[in-house]
Amino acid sequence: MTNQTPKIKERLLSGMRPTGLLHLGHFVGALENWLNFQDEFDCFFLISDYQALGDYPDRIELIRKAVYEVTLDWLAVGLDPQKCTFVVQSYVPEHAELHMLLSMITPLSEIKRNPTLKTEMKQFNLKQISLGFFNYPGSQVADILLPRAQIVPVGEDQLPHIELAKKIARKFNNTYKNIFPIPRAIIGRVPRLPGIDGNFKMSKSLDNAIYLSDDEKTVIKKVKKMYTDPKRIHANIPGTVEGNPVFIYHDAFNSNVEEVNYLKELYREGKVSDVEVKEKLSRALNQFLVLIRERRKKFERWPKLLREILYEGSKRERKLAKETIEIVKEAMGIIY
C-alpha cells in the first residue's frame, strides 16, 4: 500500500443549447462520449440557456420548456447526477462575467472569421442578428474556461469554438497569469449523423430528426420514409452502401454487426429490398431506445427532482466559478 493521494480527475465541460428535444445525432455526436466520461473525469454538462436566447430572443417559453426536455433526455440516456454535474448557464452569473472580461482580449477578427458562426449567420437574416448571437463563440469560450476545463467533447461543427478557447486561454496566460489549462476537444464516434431526408445533418430545424423520446410507431414511420439509394427503384438493382443514411444508421445503432455486414453484402448485390433493410433498422433503433424511453418515463414523474438536480449542480459549479473570477480579476489587476 502506498499513501498516495487519490488522483485528481481532469475536468471536462460540454454543453447543449436548450432549444428542444434531443435526437439520435446528439447521442452519437456527444452523449455517448459523455456517458463514457462520467466515471473518468470531473464532468460539467451545461445547459446554455443564454446562448439559446441568441437563437430565440423572443421565445423564452420555448427555452424554458427545453431546459427540462434536455435534462430529461440527459437522464434518460443514463447521465447520472451523482457522478457528473448538470449546470444551467444563467444560474451561474459568472459565465456572463467571464465572457465580459475575456471579450477584452478577444480579437474581433477571430469572431468574424469563425466558420461555424459564418454558416449559421447565413441561415438567418443578417440584419436580424443580435450582438449577443454574434458573440456566442466568445461566450462559449467563457463556458469552457470558467471551470478551467481541460477536456471538451463536442461535435465536429463546434471545433472552431474550441480552437478559439485555446487561443484565448494562451493569450490570457501569457498576458496576465497562467490560470487556464489549454482545453482539448474530443470528437464523437459519428461526428455528424445525416438526417432521415439524407440532408447532411440531423437537426430539429430541418425537421429530419429521430428523437430519443420518439415512440416505437414514430420510429417505424420515420425509418419507412428514410432517404436511401435513389437509383434503386427495384430490390434487384445493386445498391450503394457508402453514404447511404440507412446504412450509416445501421453502423451507428445496430449492435448486431454480423447482420449489418450481411445486409450490406446483399444490398450491393441487389438481393435485399430497401423495405427489409429498413425493417431491420427500425427494430435495431427501437431496441436501442427501449431503456432510454423507460428512464425518461420514470423521471418525467419527478419534476421537482429535475429542478433540484439543476439547482444543486449549478451551485457546485458556482463555487469553482467564483474562485476563477477572483483569480482572473486579481491577475488583470481589477482590485481597487
Which residues of this chain interact with ligand TRP, rule CB under 6 A? 13-17, 46, 48, 51, 140, 143-144, 152, 154, 158
Q: Provide, rounded to whole angstroms, the least separation between the CB of residue 162 and ligand TRP.
A: 8
Q: Provide, rounded to whole angstroms, the least separation between the CB of residue 331 and ligand TRP.
A: 22
Q: Which is nearer to ligand TRP, 16 or 223 (CB)?
A: 16
Q: Provide, rounded to whole angstroms, the least separation between the CB of residue 204 and ligand TRP.
A: 11
Q: Provide, rounded to whole angstroms, the least separation between the CB of residue 36 and ligand TRP.
A: 17
Calpha distance 137→158 (Å, rounded): 9
Q: Which is nearer to ligand TRP, 64 or 221 (CB)?
A: 64
Q: Which is nearer to ligand TRP, 194 or 239 (CB)?
A: 194
222-242 burial, b at 16+ Cβ within 10 Å, e below that, comes to bbeebebbeebeebeeebebe
Is the distance from CB of 22 to CB of 68 less than 8 angstroms?
Answer: no
Calpha distance 112→171 (Å, rounded): 18
Q: Which is nearer to ligand TRP, 64 or 297 (CB)?
A: 64
Kindly tell me the sign of the dihedral angle through the C-alpha atoms of 194, 199, 200, 204. Answer: negative
List the grid coordinates of 237. 438493382
Q: Provide, rounded to whole angstroms, the least separation between the CB of residue 69 and ligand TRP.
A: 14
| DSSP type of residue 176 | T
Q: Provide, rounded to whole angstroms, the least separation between the CB of residue 46 and ligand TRP.
A: 5
Question: Is beta strand 42-47 parallel, antiparallel or unpaired with respect to 184-187?
Answer: unpaired
Q: Which is nearer to ligand TRP, 137 or 245 (CB)?
A: 137
Q: Provide, rounded to whole angstroms, the least separation between the CB of residue 38 and ligand TRP.
A: 16
Q: Provide, rounded to whole angstroms, the least separation between the CB of residue 111 and ligand TRP.
A: 14
Q: Which is nearer to ligand TRP, 140 or 282 (CB)?
A: 140
Residue least distant from ligand TRP (Cβ): 15
Q: Which is nearer to ligand TRP, 192 or 224 (CB)?
A: 192
Is the distance from CB of 195 to CB of 10 less than 8 angstroms?
Answer: no
Please enumerate, as own/partner, the contacts of 17-20 that have beta carbons within 8 Å and a separation of 24 or more: 17/48, 17/51, 17/52, 17/55, 18/47, 18/48, 18/49, 18/52, 18/63, 18/66, 18/67, 18/69, 18/70, 19/52, 19/55, 19/56, 19/62, 19/63, 19/66, 19/204, 20/62, 20/66, 20/69, 20/204
Q: Which is nearer to ligand TRP, 140 or 254 (CB)?
A: 140
